[in-house]
Amino acid sequence: MTSRETTSWLQIRDELLRRVRERVWEPGALIPGEVELAEEFGCARTTVNRALRELAEAGLITRRRRAGTRVSINPPHKATLTIPIIREDVEARGASYRHAILHRDTRLLPAHLGGAFHLPEGTQVLYTVTMHYENDRPYIHEERYTHFAAVPGLEEQDFAQISANEWLVQNAPFTGGDMAFFAITATEDLARCFDVAPGAALFTVERSTWNDQAPITLARMTHAPGYRMRMSL
């Protein structure tokens, strides 16, 4: 309707979004088809399609051929977490970063990790323990198992200059992975690293990654007391 002016898919998306939010179209209701909307907005069907596709990707509407487009009943709320390289994360806050290798050896995969790592017990892996510091204060304790066969050039790395965290991100691109967040009580070892009493509550992230061929690495990152991991919705 009206005089064309600046029809853009963004404006159409926003208008459709308004109708969903303000319940002009009730949850579960069928909304007009692309052709009809294109007439209403005085634009090509392609343009309406672009707007509707965005809303569908966000989960606000559900689209099915022949059945049409409906307002979602329970729009799924999703949070996105961007996983930073620890050094960049620290430096982005204007703090200084350094790391230290506490341990490094080659060993056979412990039996209890076979499940998380999807590799047979006894596969040769590199085991590293790294401490990351923010302004010279303990920040993250990283314990990591890395699959030798999946990462060419791994043996030559001593991770003195570049941490395993950073080196792997840049040299062993992964195609998939999963993470788990949980709380642990500090072991004596960890308590010493963070200079707290044994038994203190620590926030831990466990992450395993793989590419198309094989598992790459399994890391357990334990954060300093009081750490909060933030994400936005």
Partner DNA sequence: TAGTGGTCTAGACCACGGC
Partner DNA sequence: CCGTGGTCTAGACCACTAT
Which residues contact DNA (rule: CB under 7 A)?
Answer: 7-10, 33-35, 42-47, 49-50, 52-53, 56, 63-69
Residue number, 122 or 173, with CB nearest to its own copies: 173
Residue number, 14 or 178, with CB nearest to DNA: 14
**How is residue 146 written in tokens?**
């890395």
Q: Are residues 222 and 141 in contact, defined by beta-carbon separation less than 8 angstroms?
A: yes
Nearest to 207 by CA among 36, 110, 81, 54: 81
- Shortest distance (Å) from residue 149 CB to its own copies: 18
- Shortest distance (Å) from residue 75 CB to DNA: 17
Interface residue with its own copies, options 33, 75, 91, 114 (CB under 8 A): 75
DSSP β-ladder status, 201-210 and 215-223? antiparallel
Cα-based torsion angle of the residue sequence 103, 149, 168, 144 in order, rounded to the nearest 10 degrees: -30
**How is residue 52 written in tokens?**
């509707």
Site for its own copies in 156-195 (CB under 8 A): 169-170, 173-185
Cβ atoms within 10 A of the Cβ of 74, count?
7
Contact set with its own copies (CB under 8 A): 21, 74-83, 85, 88, 169-170, 173-185, 199-204, 207, 209, 226-233
